[in-house]
Amino acid sequence: MIKKKSNSVSLWLFESLLGYGEIKHFISSRTGGSSCRPWDSLNLSFNTLDDAKAVLDNRQHLSEALQIPLTSITTAKQVHGRHVRILSRSLKGRGACDYHSAINSTDALVTDVPGICPTVLLADCVPILMYDPSKRVVGVVHAGWKGTLGTISQKTVEIFRKDFGSMPEEIIACIGPSIGPCCFQVGHEVITQIENAFGTKEGYITKESQNGGYFNLWKANQEQLIRAGLRERNIESARICTAHNTDQFFSHRGEKGKTGRFAAGILIC
Helix (H, G, I), strand (E, B) or coil at 261: coil
Q: In what order do the strands lie in the sheet with 84-86?
A: 84-86, 108-111, 137-143, 126-132, 172-175, 235-237
Give the residue with greater pLDDT, 158 vs 6. Answer: 158
Task: For 88-119, write each residue's pLDDT tens digit.
Answer: 999 999 999 999 999 999 999 999 999 999 99
pLDDT at 5: 93
C-alpha neighbours within 13 Å on the C-beta side of residue 236: 17
Spacing of C-alpha 64 from chain mean position = 20
- How much is the average pLDDT of 258-264? 98
- How much is the average pLDDT of 219-225? 97
Task: For 29-55, write each residue's pLDDT tens digit.
Answer: 999 999 999 999 999 999 999 999 999
CB-based contact 61:53 (threshold 8 Å): no
Percent of the chain with pLDDT over 90: 99
175/12 Cα distance (integer angstroms) = 12
DSSP one-letter string for 75-87: -B---SS--EEE-
- How much is the average pLDDT of 232-240? 98
pLDDT at 207: 95
Bridge pairing between strands 117-122 and 137-143: unpaired
pLDDT at 251: 98
C-alpha neighbours within 13 Å on the C-beta side of residue 73: 28
pLDDT at 183: 98
Nearest to 164 by CA among 133, 126, 194: 133
Query: Using CA of residue 194, residue 45, residue 41, residue 265, what is the dihedral sign?
Result: positive
**pTM to 2 decimals?**
0.98
Task: For 165-180, write each residue's pLDDT tens digit.
Answer: 999 999 999 999 999 9
User: Could you tell me the pLDDT band of residue 269, with boundaries at 50, 70 and 90?
Assistant: very high
User: Could you tell me the pLDDT band of residue 7, with boundaries at 50, 70 and 90?
Assistant: confident
Helix (H, G, I), strand (E, B) or coil at 65: helix
Ordered domains of the chain (ranges, CATH): 2-179+231-268 (3.60.140.10)
pLDDT at 105: 98
Q: What are phi and psi of 266, to 5 degrees?
A: -155, 140
